[in-house]
Chains A and B, each alone.
Chain A
Amino acid sequence: MHLTKSQIIILIIIAIIAFLLGRLAVRAFFNLLMGGTLFGGNFL
């Protein structure tokens, strides 16, 4: 499958967003158990 330049950029953006959302989801889960803010402090 041949990917165009714009498709590669879209994939990179999706990868970054998904990676950050994954970290954010874990942070939200721990916050639910122990308390804490969704943003601020550590990198996500």
Chain B
Amino acid sequence: MKRAKKKGGRIMFVFLCILMFLGCFILGASSKVLLKPSWSKEYEVEFTDEIGTLYTDLSYGDKQANKFDMYLPKDNTRRNYGLAVYLHAGGFTSGDKAGDKQMLSWLCSKGYVAVGINYTLFNEENPNANVYTQSLEIKEAIPKVIEEAEKKGYHINEMAIGGGSAGHALAMIYAYRDVDTSPVPVKLLFGAVGPSSFYAEDWDIYGFDKDTKEAKEGASILFGVMGGEKLTLEMMEDGSYLEKVKPISAVMWIDKHTVPSVVAYGKYDKVQPFKGSQRLLKAYKENNIDYQYFECSHSGHGLQNDSKIYKKYMEAVEKYLDKYLPIEE
């Protein structure tokens, strides 16, 4: 009788251990997903009437996606305003400006006219859209954005442009390639994990660094689709493809006059190659650009494992905004 009771107690204890394991496992997983570092709240502002006024889906072109959201700061008494554009992520095939509401609200809360711009995404509905056409849409949007701000009583005299991933790539193209045609001076570029070049040897994550026909074919297809150009095997072999993808390769436009830049990259990025960011870093150094480069050495495309470095990146963005796009009193 006593032995049976003891056996029953042991079974109950094992059962309790399993329950405890499952409960705590779920708790741990949830904590990883739901809990954000306390510092991140500083940059994730909820937009209210106290911050300013939000105008959504203002048009800048004929295409369906040619829309932008404009966050106007509450104080409308200043003579000049800095424009802070932030372009959304999504691999050039998805995403929306609404996804950056907290970032744009933060920029607006600092006193900038903050703007999120949509661009035509490459998908089944828009098979002809590519990184080049998207960059042209951004170029087309900026003067319209400034015009719209003017209409609402906010005179823009300078700007900064940033973004995440695909948005970062497009922001770099605007800041480095299109800077001379910008209606107002571009003072700063900031962003994370955006591809800045298309050297096949850098794209090892897709196997394009290999000296095989398949690798060259793969690179010619991907780079060709992204750049809206037909790239042949011969071009890949003799290197002439680089000139074809120059319009979408931000790094190839960097010179001594390039704007100050703050960027962050993940060392183990599976989506865009980290090696490309090393090329970008080299270009900054060679051209004496005022830059801040943050390497998240345990992270991939989401910079998800290095919150301390990401915090430093955001602090640098804020510092550079204050320095190069100061709020007029």
Distance A18 CA – B304 CA, assembled complex (angstroms): 21
Contacts of B300 in A (CB 8 A): 30-31, 33-36
A15 near B29 (CB under 8 angstroms)?
no
What size tier do the contact residues of chain A reach? 20 to 34
Closest 6 CB pairs of A and B: A35-B300, A22-B28, A41-B298, A18-B24, A34-B300, A35-B268
> Considering only CB atoms, which chain A residue lies closest to B298 in the complex?
A41
With a CB–CB cut-off of 8 A, which chain B residues contact A39? Answer: 298
User: Is the beta-carbon distance between A23 and B28 smaller than 8 angstroms?
Assistant: yes
What's the least CB distance linking A40 to chain B, in Å? 4
Q: Point out the residues of chain B lying under 8 angstroms from A11, CB to CB.
A: 16-17, 20
Task: A15 to B28: give the CA distance in the assembly, Å.
Answer: 10
Scoring B24, B28, B266, B296 by chain A CB atoms within 10 A of each residue's CB, the highest score goes to: B28
Closest to A21 in B: B25
Residue contact A20 to B28, C-beta cutoff 8 Å: yes
**A7-B13, A30-B304 given; A23·B270 CB < 8 A:** no
Total A-B residue contacts, Cβ distance less than 8 Å: 117
Which residues of B have CB within 8 Å of A44?
A: 32
- Say if the beta carbon of B242 comes within 8 Å of chain A: no
Residues of A within 8 A of B24 (CB): 14-16, 18-19, 22
Nearest chain-A residue to B17 (Cβ)?
A14
Structural contact, B269 and A41, CB atoms closer than 8 A? no
Can you sample 11 A-B contacts with CB below 8 Å? A18-B24, A19-B25, A23-B29, A30-B302, A31-B305, A35-B270, A36-B302, A36-B304, A37-B299, A40-B297, A42-B306
Interface size class of B (residues with CB under 8 A): 35 or more
- Shortest distance between the CB of B24 and any CB in chain A (Å): 4
Q: Does B292 touch A at the CB level, under 8 Å?
A: no
The CA of A10 and the CA of B14, in the complex, are separated in Å by 11
Q: Per-position contact with A for B16-35: 1 when CB-CB < 8 Å, else 0?
A: 11001111111111111100
Contact A41 B296 (CB under 8 A): yes
Given contacts A15-B24, A17-B21, 17 further A-B contacts (CB under 8 A): A1-B13, A11-B16, A14-B17, A14-B20, A15-B20, A19-B24, A19-B31, A21-B25, A23-B31, A27-B304, A31-B305, A36-B300, A39-B298, A41-B308, A41-B309, A42-B305, A42-B307
